Amino acid sequence: MKSCRFEPTCSSYSLEAFKRFGFVIGLKLTVKRIIRCHPWGGHGYDPVPNFEEIKKIKKDF
């Protein structure tokens, strides 16, 4: 049985976010992902956003 609702898993997503964007943005992306991880949240393919998407996230956060 699969334990994570998303692909890549939340832990893989977090590692990739920290590698690509460093501590502050990586942490923000990880927190936003974990908040979405519940039965009424999303599911499926949810990759780490690209740089252009990060600009929008920075404005929203």
Closest CA to 7 of 35, 53, 47: 47
Amino acid identity of residue 4, one-letter, is C
17 is a domain residue: yes
Token output for 54:
């990060």
41 is a domain residue: yes
The pTM (predicted TM-score) of the whole model is: 0.80
Q: Domain range holding 33?
A: 6-60
14 is a domain residue: yes
Number of folded domains in the chain?
1
1 is a domain residue: no
- The span from the CA of 15 to the CA of 2, in Å, is 19
pLDDT tens profile 15-55:
999 999 999 999 999 999 999 888 888 889 999 999 888 77
- The span from the CA of 30 to the CA of 46, in Å, is 12
30 is a domain residue: yes
